[in-house]
Amino acid sequence: MRTSIATVCLSGTLTDKLHAAADAGFDGVEVFEPDLIASPSSPEEIVALAARLGLSLDLYQPFRDAEGVSEEEFVRVLHRARSKFALMQRLGIDTMLVCSNVGTATVDDDEVSASQLRRLGDAAAAAGVRLAYEALAWGRYVDDYRRSWRIVELADHDAVGLCLDSFHILSRGHDPAEIEEIPGSKIFFLQLADAPALTMDVLSWSRHHRLFPGEGAFDLGAFVGHVLRTGYDGPLSLEVFNDVFRQTDVVRTARQARRSLTWLEDLVETRRLPAVAEPAGFDFVEVRAEDTGEADVLLGQLGFTFRGRHRSKDARLWTEGPARVVCNEQHARNQSPSLAAVGFEVADPAVSAARARALQAPTVYRRTLANEQELPAFRAPDGTEVFLGPVSSGDAAWVPEFDGGQEPTPPLLTGIDHVNLAEPWQCFDEAVLFYSSVLGLTPAASQEIAAPNGLVRSQVVRSASGSCRLALNVAPLAWDQAGGFPQHVAFSTDDVAAVARRAVDRGLVPLAIPTNYYDDLMARFDLSSSEVEAMAELGLLHDRDATGDFTHFYTATVGGVFFEVVQRRGGYDGYGAPNAGVRLAAQHRRPR
Amino acid sequence: MRTSIATVCLSGTLTDKLHAAADAGFDGVEVFEPDLIASPSSPEEIVALAARLGLSLDLYQPFRDAEGVSEEEFVRVLHRARSKFALMQRLGIDTMLVCSNVGTATVDDDEVSASQLRRLGDAAAAAGVRLAYEALAWGRYVDDYRRSWRIVELADHDAVGLCLDSFHILSRGHDPAEIEEIPGSKIFFLQLADAPALTMDVLSWSRHHRLFPGEGAFDLGAFVGHVLRTGYDGPLSLEVFNDVFRQTDVVRTARQARRSLTWLEDLVETRRLPAVAEPAGFDFVEVRAEDTGEADVLLGQLGFTFRGRHRSKDARLWTEGPARVVCNEQHARNQSPSLAAVGFEVADPAVSAARARALQAPTVYRRTLANEQELPAFRAPDGTEVFLGPVSSGDAAWVPEFDGGQEPTPPLLTGIDHVNLAEPWQCFDEAVLFYSSVLGLTPAASQEIAAPNGLVRSQVVRSASGSCRLALNVAPLAWDQAGGFPQHVAFSTDDVAAVARRAVDRGLVPLAIPTNYYDDLMARFDLSSSEVEAMAELGLLHDRDATGDFTHFYTATVGGVFFEVVQRRGGYDGYGAPNAGVRLAAQHRRPR
Count how many domains chain A has.
2
In the structure, what pLDDT confidence band is assigned to residue B481 with cuts at 50, 70 and 90?
low
The DSSP output letter for A184 is: G
Looking at A267, A289, A314, the residue that finishes a domain is A267
Q: How many CA atoms lie within 13 A of A478 on its CB side?
A: 20
User: Phi/psi of residue A43, each to 5°?
Assistant: -50, -40
Residues A17, A74 share a domain? yes
- Please tell me the distance from the alpha carbon of residue A95 to that of residue A132, in angstroms, as a whole number: 7
Do B39 and A585 lie within an 8 Å CB cutoff? yes
Q: Would you state the pLDDT for residue B592?
A: 40
Query: Model confidence over B422-449: pLDDT tens digits?
Result: 999 989 999 999 999 999 999 997 899 9
Annotation-wise, does A495 bind a ligand? no
Query: Do A514 and B39 lie within an 8 Å CB cutoff?
Result: yes
In a 10 Å sphere around its CB, with 0-12 CB exposed, 13-18 middle and 19+ buried, how is residue B172 labelled?
middle
B328 & B476 share domain: yes
Amino acid (1-letter code) at residue B294: E
**Is residue B272 situated within a structural domain?**
no
Is A543 inside a domain boundary? yes
For residues A507 and A366, membership in a common domain is answered with yes
Interchain proximity A585–B42, CB inside 8 Å: no
**Which residue of chain B comes nearest to A246, CA vs CA?**
B454
DSSP state of A242: B
Instruction: Give the one of A12, A476, A524 whose C-beta lies nearest to B453's C-beta.
Output: A12
Assign A392 to helix, strand or coil. Answer: coil
Give the pLDDT of residue A483: 67
Tell if the CB–CB gap between B516 and A43 is shorter than 8 Å: yes
At what angle are helices A71-91 and B515-524 packed, to 10 degrees? 150
Set of chain A residues whose Cβ sits within 8 Å of the Cβ of B477: 247, 425, 477
What is the b/e burial string over A75-100, where b = at least 16 CB atoms within 10 angstroms of the residue's CB? ebbbebbbebbebbeebebbbbbbbb
Within-domain flag for A418:
yes
Instruction: Mark whether A358 and A255 lie in a shared domain.
Output: no
pLDDT tens, residue by residue, B329-385: 998 999 999 999 999 999 999 999 999 999 999 999 877 766 788 899 999 999 999
Of A426, A454, A523, the CB nearest to B246: A454
The answer to the question of whether A191 is labelled as a binding residue is yes
What residue ranges in B185-225 does DSSP mark as E strands?
187-192
Are the Cβ atoms of B40 and A13 closer than 8 angstroms?
no
Is-contact A550 A568, C-beta < 8 A?
Answer: yes
**How many residues are recorded in chain B?**
592
Going by C-alpha positions, the residue among A378, A398, A379 that lies closest to residue A312 is A398
Residues of A with CB below 8 A from B198's CB? 200, 204
A243 is in an annotated binding site: no
Distance between CA atoms of residues B422 and B420, nearest Å = 7
**Is residue A272 situated within a structural domain?**
no
**Residue B207 pLDDT exceeds 70:** yes
**Cβ atoms of residues B179 and B222 within 8 Å:** no
DSSP string, B446-461: EEEEEETTEEEEEEEE
Give the rounded percent of residues in chain B with a pLDDT score beyond 70: 98
CATH assignment of the domain containing A200: 3.20.20.150
Cβ-proximal residues to A382 (8 Å cutoff; 6+ apart), any chain: A421, A422, A423, A424, A427, A431, A472
Q: Are residues A340 and A257 in the same domain?
A: no
Average pLDDT over residues B115-127: 98
CA distances from B104 to A153, A521, A558, B148 (A): 52, 19, 41, 17
Q: How confident is the model at residue B487 (pLDDT cuts 50, 70, 90)?
A: very high
CATH of the domain at A512: 3.10.180.10
Residue B240 — φ and ψ, nearest 5°?
-130, 115
Give A-chain residues touching B519 at CB under 8 angstroms: 83, 87
User: What one-character DSSP code corresponds to residue A581?
Assistant: H
Sort strands A541-545 and B548-554 into parallel, antiparallel or unpaired.
unpaired
Please provide residue A162's backbone torsions phi and psi, each rounded to the nearest 5 degrees: -110, 150
Residue at a domain's end among A267, A299, A333: A267
Task: Give the separation between CA A478 and CA A221, rounded to whole angstroms.
Answer: 38
Q: How far is A36 from chain B (nearest CA, A)?
A: 7
Helix, strand, coil content of chain A in percent (nearest 5): 35, 25, 35
Asked whether residue A518 is domain-assigned, the answer is yes
Burial of A125 (0-12, 13-18, 19+ CB in 10 A): middle
| From A34, A198, A516, residue closest to B581, measured CB to CB | A34
Confidence (pLDDT) at A370: 66
A-B Cβ pairs (cutoff 8 Å, strict): 151
User: What local confidence, expressed as pLDDT, does residue A592 receive?
Assistant: 40
Which H/E stretch holds residue B566? Answer: strand B561-570
Nearest CA in chain B to A46: B516
Residues B290 and B225 in one domain: no
pLDDT in tens, B151-191: 999 999 999 999 999 999 999 999 999 999 999 999 999 99
Residue A536 CA to residue A532 CA, distance in Å, equals 6
The pLDDT value given to residue B471: 97
Of B216, B236, B267, the domain-final residue = B267
Q: Which of B38, B83, B453 sits opposite A585 (nearest CB)?
A: B38
Based on the fold, state whether residues B465 and B411 are members of the same structural domain. Answer: yes
Co-location of B262 and B293 in the same domain: no
- Considering the domain architecture, whether residues B434 and B519 belong to the same structural domain is answered as yes
CA-based nearest residue to A476, from A448, A496, A502, A501: A448
Residue B67 known to bind ligand: no
* Interatomic CA distance for residues A375 and A398, integer angstroms: 9
CB A239 within 8 A of CB A193: yes
Distance from CA of A80 to the nearest CA of B (A): 5
Compute the distance between CA of residue B391 and CA of residue B279 in angstroms, rounded to an integer.
Answer: 9
**Beta-ladder partners of B420:** B471, B488
A239 and A330 part of one domain: no
Q: Is residue A276 part of a domain?
A: no
Note whether B545 and B534 are within 8 A (CB). no
Interface contact A478-B589, CB threshold 8 A: no
Residue A273 lies in a domain: no
Q: How far is Cα B297 from Cα B276, in angstroms, rounded to an integer?
A: 38
Same domain membership, residue B235 and residue B173: yes
How many C-beta neighbours within 10 Å does residue A123 have? 16
Average pLDDT, chain B: 95
The answer to the question of whether B134 is labelled as a binding residue is yes
Give pLDDT, residue A126: 98
Is there a domain that residue B275 lies in?
no
Residues B255, B311: one domain? no
Cβ–Cβ of B514/A40 closer than 8 Å?
yes
Average pLDDT of the segment spanning B299-318: 96
CA distance A412 to A303: 8
Contact B425 A477 (CB under 8 A): yes
Closest-CA distance of chain A to residue B355, Å: 32
Give every residue of chain A whose pLDDT is below 70, as ranges. 369-370, 481-483, 590-592
Domain that holds residue B584: 281-589
Minimal Cβ distance to A453: which of B39, B247, B512: B247
CB contact under 8 A, A450 and B589: no
Tell me if B83 and A12 make a contact (CB, 8 A cut-off).
no
Question: Under DSSP, is residue A73 helix (H, G, I), strand (E, B) or coil?
Answer: helix
What integer is the mean pLDDT of B238-258?
A: 95
Is residue B269's pLDDT more than 90? yes
